[in-house]
Amino acid sequence: MKVCVVDASVAAKWLLPATGEDFVSEANRVLSLHVAHEWQILAPALIWAEIGNVLWKAVRCKRTSQRTAAEALEQLRDLELKIIPVEDLMVPALEIARAYDRSFYDSLYVALTVREKGDLITADERLANALAARFPVRWLGAFHE
């Protein structure tokens, strides 16, 4: 089974209203590979805080309701992604952040990807462009699987 790490930029596309969202079908394809047990999707535990923040912002700007946002958190939990504690990822993430001038948050996803020998799928084109030459980071917009 292929291992794939997704960041919050991809997971958010599964949970937010599709109106105005780019690459929703690509994100849903990633998810369908997980549901079909072709891929195992992993994420560092940080994803909960990041998705919570995305949903809070969506409620704040009236893109979604409080109830729908809460249901989205439950929906994400029900997807049974393999959530990995960040403690063992912190030192390699800090090294990646320093060496490639990336945020520590993004570097946690990259460190997990390296450790698990998988691919990181991100909707953050700048992140993908900055790291794809050195790490297995794939931009969701170019996802064709």
Report pLDDT digits (tens) over 80-99. 999 999 999 999 999 999 99
Q: Which residue ranges make up each domain of the chain?
A: 2-142
Cα distances (Å, whole numbers) of residue 124 to 80, 105, 128, 131, 138: 23, 13, 6, 11, 9
Domain 2-142, what architecture? 3-Layer(aba) Sandwich (3.40)
Residues 122 and 125: their CA atoms lie apart, in Å, by 7
Mean pLDDT for 105-124 is: 97
Q: What is the pLDDT of residues 115-127, one digit of tens each?
A: 999 999 999 999 9
pLDDT at residue number 145? 65
pTM (2 decimals)? 0.93
